[in-house]
Amino acid sequence: MSARSTVVKFQNNSGNTLFLDPASINLIHGEWVTYPPEKIPDGQTGQWESDSDGFMTGTEGQLQYQFADSGGIENVRLYWDNPYIGNNGYSITVSAAGYKVGYEGGVGDNATVTFYVKQE
């Protein structure tokens, strides 16, 4: 087992299918164990994992999923950071009004965090 790993789960209750934006993928530190899915249908949960790949390192990454809304193409951006030293950090934002985003969990050296997007 790696010194640090993060399993990311992303629950989609947006009413839309989410499509991964390949150009947005940035694994800043670490390596992929499981790559993010290309799409997450409404009502489904996507999952991926990254872990550390060096001595005294962590894992950190960011990406975005997109969906079509009445306002055009919208973005949901996710960020995770599980450093070797210090606290874990996470964020999720959505570009469209009418949606709620957040996350739960994500504690520990080998963490699991669950992000979500849902209609308000």
The predicted structure's pLDDT at residue 71 = 79
Residue 112 CB contacts under 8 Å (≥ 6 apart), including other chains: 6, 7, 9, 105, 106
State the Cα–Cα distance between residues 66 and 86, nearest whole angstrom: 31
What's the rounded mean pLDDT across residues 5-31? 98
The predicted structure's pLDDT at residue 69 = 86
The predicted structure's pLDDT at residue 44 = 99
In this structure, the strands spanning 45-51 and 5-13 are antiparallel
pLDDT of 91 strictly over 80: yes
| 28 — pLDDT class (breaks 50, 70, 90) | very high
Show the domains of the chain with their CATH numbers.
Answer: 5-119 (2.60.270.50)
| 2 — pLDDT class (breaks 50, 70, 90) | confident
pLDDT of 1 strictly over 80: no
